[in-house]
Amino acid sequence: MIKTTKKLKNNPAKAEVSKTEAPKIEVTKTNSAKPTVTKVVVSEPVAPAKSVAVVTMAKPVAVFPVQPAPTAAVKPAPKNVVSLELVKPEAKSVAVAGSFNEWKPEKTPLISLGNGRWKGDLNVKPGRHEYLFVVDGQWLPDPNAKESVANPFGGTNSVLIVSE
């Protein structure tokens, strides 16, 4: 911005700002098949404004170090992670249901590792748990379980013991 001044009648040595004018700018645009090119020419030089800031404080200010916010990627490792594996080459989906997930297979689907191998890592509280694999809707005991018990439906549940 360019400031124009005028002399005061009572004191010609002093000046006051009467108005502010924008510099004159010439703009030329070229339109063609190529991107638009804009040329700006300032006909009068514009001096940058100078400013000074003064800050005074009545009382001293305490400064505390800033702690970084925790990120979602940093999670403590679960204490009781149990891995269950099942080999069923013909399976299209495998899950596990048991006393640790309210017997709801949709809560713990297993992941296909290829070649008919399925694996799931479960965070299970310490204690004795009964479970079954659910393979394409069919409830099956774990052939690798060390222990099993009869269930009230005439079948067998696998037993998982998790220590503290």
Query: What residue ranges do the domains of the chain occupy?
Result: 2-42, 81-162
Question: What is the reported pLDDT for 88?
Answer: 96
Q: 8-16 — which CB contacts under 8 Å span 24+ positions?
A: none
CATH of segment(s) 81-162: 2.60.40.10
List pLDDT tens digits, range 53-85: 445 555 665 655 666 666 555 555 556 789 999
CB half-sphere exposure, 49, CA atoms < 13 A: 5
Which parts of the chain have pLDDT scores under 70? 1-79
- The tokens for 138 are 């069919």
Return the ∠ at Cα 150 (arms to 146 and 154), rounded to 5°: 135
pLDDT of residue 14: 53
**For residues 38 and 28, is the Cβ–Cβ distance under 8 A?**
yes
Cβ atoms of 133 and 96 closer than 8 Å: yes
pLDDT at res. 144: 93
Read off the pTM. 0.53
Query: What local confidence, expressed as pLDDT, does residue 47 receive?
Result: 56
| Centroid of chain to Cα 140 | 38
Q: Which residue has the tokens 């596990």?
A: 96
